[in-house]
Amino acid sequence: MNSEHRVSVPASVLATNWKPQYTFSEGKQQDFFSVFAIFFPSVTGIQAGANISGDLKDPAGAIPKGTLLSLIISMVSYAIFVVFAGGAALRDASGNVSELINNTYIECRENGGTCGYGLNNSYSSPSNLALVIRKQVMQLMSLWGPFIYAGCFAATLSTALTNLLSVPRLIQALGIDKIYPGLIFFSKGYGKFGEPYRGYVLTFVVSSAFVIIG
């Protein structure tokens, strides 16, 4: 239990956090779609494996057994993580351990908005922004804060590398099928496995351009 909002996973907190409570933040009233816009890109990595499933020796048999099963496992893992994360932190907390012991921590929001911690305040707070950002919710829950940053870096890098390998395959397939005449140039494969080197170059150039733009 932590006065800054971490409370393991009690049933009462999980039941309370299960209900939606959209708040006004970042200059707008948040709703389901604004939250979904953040969550959806974070789980699109499950498509990376499906994009290169055509390289399998027996795609017709391997896709149902492997690709679909991996998608199911990934989605279940994401759902379990969301439930555990949402049930292990209070929505509002003041950082005062006595209020947590006395069960009066919820009053910090009702009495002038003095809450500096909790799920509602873990990323931005007009009154105490610097302190809150330093204590982001996932970092506080973790065994060791830097693990979160290392995990984000590893996930970002692996997804980027996977897309750099899978997108050229898609471009090559579009060229082979002659769906877009401009992509026929990229249909040529090289080596034993028909590697789309031209697609690799195109993907690298486009990706680099967006990185440079910022």
43 and 114 co-located in one domain? yes
Per the structure, the complete domain to which residue 131 belongs is given by 1-141
pLDDT tier for residue 108 given thresholds of 50, 70 and 90:
low
116 and 26 co-located in one domain? yes
Q: Of all residues in the chain, what percent carry a pLDDT higher than 70?
A: 65
SS3 category, 6: strand
Distances (CA, A) of 108 to 15, 37, 111, 118: 20, 29, 5, 11
Residues 151-205: pLDDT tens digits?
889 888 887 888 788 888 889 988 998 888 888 999 998 988 788 999 999 999 9
pLDDT of residue 125: 47
Domain limit, last residue, from 91, 117, 141: 141
Reported pTM: 0.59
129 and 167 co-located in one domain? no
115 and 155 co-located in one domain? no
Provide the domain count of the chain: 2
Domain limit, last residue, from 120, 141, 162: 141
Domain limit, last residue, from 117, 141, 165: 141
Residues 67-102: pLDDT tens digits?
778 778 878 888 888 888 777 777 766 666 666 666
Return the bridge partners of 190, or none.
195
170 and 122 co-located in one domain? no
25 and 103 co-located in one domain? yes
35 and 50 co-located in one domain? yes
124 and 159 co-located in one domain? no
Take residue 164 and report the two structure tokens written for it.
């750099």
Q: Could you tell me which residues come within 8 angstroms of residue 141 by beta carbon, excluding any fewer than 6 positions away?
A: 6, 85, 88, 89
207 and 174 co-located in one domain? yes
88 and 179 co-located in one domain? no
Task: Give the separation between CA 150 and CA 97, rounded to whole angstroms.
Answer: 30
